[in-house]
Amino acid sequence: MAKIKPSKGAPYARILGVGGYRPVRVVPNEVILETIDSSDEWIRSRSGIETRHWANDEETVAAMSVEAAGKAIADAGITAEQVGAVVVSTVSHFKQTPAVATEIADKLGTAKAAAFDISAGCAGFGYGLTLAKGMVVEGSAEYVLVIGVERLSDLTDLEDRATAFLFGDGAGAVVVGPSQEPAIGPTVWGSEGDKSETIKQTVPWTDYRTGEVAKFPAITQEGQAVFRWAVFEMAKVAQQALEAAGIGSDELDVFIPHQANERIIDSMVKTLKLPESVMVARDVRTTGNTSAASIPLAMERLLATGEAKSGDTALVIGFGAGLVYAATVVTLP
């Protein structure tokens, strides 16, 4: 019986660079109030959101991804030709096939990198990061580009008082590569499909195509159910990720949760009993909920402003439609 030659990957993997792109147009709450009966104070008190970015016609999913990825590649100190795989998490690329990752890989100038899309909602970045770590350690790619990108303005019902103010557009990217020491901890991830109705697309695309509904499909959610799940269940997952990495909350430098809602973030910080010394990402205030893009965008901003620094230990957790979740501890690039 022939023996298969073992893979030769790196001992460990780490995030080597990060980049982000936010669309030019900044949309304040006043614009949202043109189509829903609410107030700026109500939106801020319920979500913490003050502004969000909406993409124009030129700021496509691919275009925003290329901008963010280019910055991440430069930050990592490598070239596009060295990227062996491109993983893109998105729910707002409206071509069923081909994967937008293939277009991005080509535009970046990779040397025919493996490229594919994943659909894991707001946990998509964590899913992609886990896949990238596996590729680097297994040896199928030396450097992997992980992109979270959304144009959620295309899937927002501006007349839905519960969600019209939540969503924004943007792209965040990281380069994952070899490391001689652990820098991406074990991932605690999973799904709760029995709760899938709490965050969903209003109707299937086929209903719109056949004329059964006149309104373009949008994202809707049961706000209170999502809030309770995120606060109580995801705090447990975050704690499990810390334990899996062998990190105590007093050893943590940064907390980067999915930027869904500032009330959820505050509640998770309280439940986890994080020390005041831990820097907490609050990018949601000016970027809104960008789903798969929210964690890398928040990470980039913290590093750019100096609120977090290279080498810091960060807990990241994403959670959303599915319901799906993924949490891990990383060393910041």
CA distance 67 to 93: 16
29 included as an active-site residue = no
Identify the helix (H) or strand (E) that includes residue 61.
helix 61-76
Token code pair at residue 37:
């009966």
CA distance 189 to 317: 9
What letter would DSSP give residue 232?
Answer: I
Residue 109 zone, left/alpha/beta (φ > 0; ψ -120 to 50; rest): left
Query: What does DSSP say about strands 114-118 and 83-89: parallel, antiparallel, or unpaired?
Result: parallel
Question: What are the phi and psi torsion angles at 171 (to 5°)?
Answer: -140, 140
CA distance 111 to 105: 8
What letter would DSSP give residue 167?
Answer: B
Token code pair at residue 280:
């907490």
CA distance 41 to 43: 6
122 included as an active-site residue = yes
Beta-bridge partners for 190: 325
53 included as an active-site residue = no
| Cβ-contact 51, 27 below 8 angstroms | yes
Selecting among 29, 53, 93, 289, the annotated active-site residue is 289
Can you state the angle between helices 294-305 and 124-138, rounded to 10 degrees?
80
Selecting among 29, 53, 122, 261, the annotated active-site residue is 122
- Tell me the catalytic residues: 122, 258, 289
